[in-house]
A and B are shown apart, each in its own frame.
Chain A
Amino acid sequence: QKEVEQNSGPLSVPEGAIASLNCTYSDRGSQSFFWYRQYSGKSPELIMFIYSNGDKEDGRFTAQLNKASQYVSLLIRDSQPSDSATYLCAVIINAGNMLTFGGGTRLMVKP
């Protein structure tokens, strides 16, 4: 079992819809959770981080963390074609500083 899992996609949503990206992790000791956006040929760009159970909102983005069920999700409201990218979920396990990445989900927002 991979430590961090994501559906590789592509996830296709129409412009203006809500895109829902999911990530599960295997280690209950995981403490810190991150979402990065990566455009083709570019480097990962931090979108959100979340440490506590519940929701965290930043503009059109909402991160949701459920430690009991060991999943973290990213909602993108009013999706735009410019949101089309690969979204990487990353987790820091225990007290370390090593990011463990999921395989990424490719999102396509169609006009």
Chain B
Amino acid sequence: DTEVTQTPKHLVMGMTNKKSLKCEQHMGHRAMYWYKQKAKKPPELMFVYSYEKLSINESVPSRFSPECPNSSLLNLHLHALQPEDSALYLCASSQATSGGGTQYFGPGTRLLVL
């Protein structure tokens, strides 16, 4: 089973709202990722967690705050977003934390910021 789940599927929020995106995997993977994808563009890496610790932050604005409560869960807390943050947010996981492990993507959360 290579399933990564994400909730919610769709989210509409105002610029003053606080919301959270959730991601879960039960494959025993030790690395988890957040990506942002705009229309007709490839996914852009935002954060990487290895063994529940943040290992990579690709200079993401502080209005995005990741959290990894345990090895199966990954959250992305959103606060004071801008309309240009509207995008598809993808979570992924991989067994390996280095050396080229295959990443499996969840279905994504489509976010619209008004």
- List chain A positions with a Cβ less than 8 A from chain B: 31-32, 34, 36, 41-46, 49, 51, 88, 92, 95-99, 101-104
Q: Are A44 and B43 in contact (CB under 8 A)?
A: yes
Across the two chains, which residue of chain B brings its CB closest to A86? B40
Chain B count of residues within 8 A CB distance of the other chain: 26
Across the two chains, which residue of chain A brings its CB closest to B107? A43
Q: Inside 8 A of B99's CB, which chain A residues have their CB? A: 31-32, 95, 97
Q: Contacts A44-B43, A102-B42 given: A96-B98 contact, CB under 8 Å?
A: yes
Measured between alpha carbons, how far is A36 from B108 in the docked complex, in Å?
Answer: 15
Q: Contacts A32-B100, A43-B105 given: A98-B48 contact, CB under 8 Å?
A: yes
Complex interface bits, B88-114 against A, C-beta within 8 A gives 1, otherwise 0: 101000101111111111111010000
Q: Are A97 and B96 in contact (CB under 8 A)?
A: yes
Q: Are A98 and B41 in contact (CB under 8 A)?
A: no
Q: Inside 8 A of A96's CB, which chain B residues have their CB? A: 98
Q: Contacts A43-B107, A97-B98, A97-B99 given: A104-B48 contact, CB under 8 Å?
A: no
16 contacts between A and B (CB under 8 A): A31-B99, A34-B102, A42-B108, A43-B107, A44-B43, A44-B90, A46-B103, A88-B43, A92-B100, A95-B99, A97-B31, A97-B99, A97-B100, A98-B56, A99-B103, A102-B42
Measured between alpha carbons, how far is A104 from B41 in the docked complex, in Å?
Answer: 8
Q: Are B42 and A104 in contact (CB under 8 A)?
A: yes
Measured between alpha carbons, how far is A32 from B103 in the docked complex, in Å?
Answer: 11
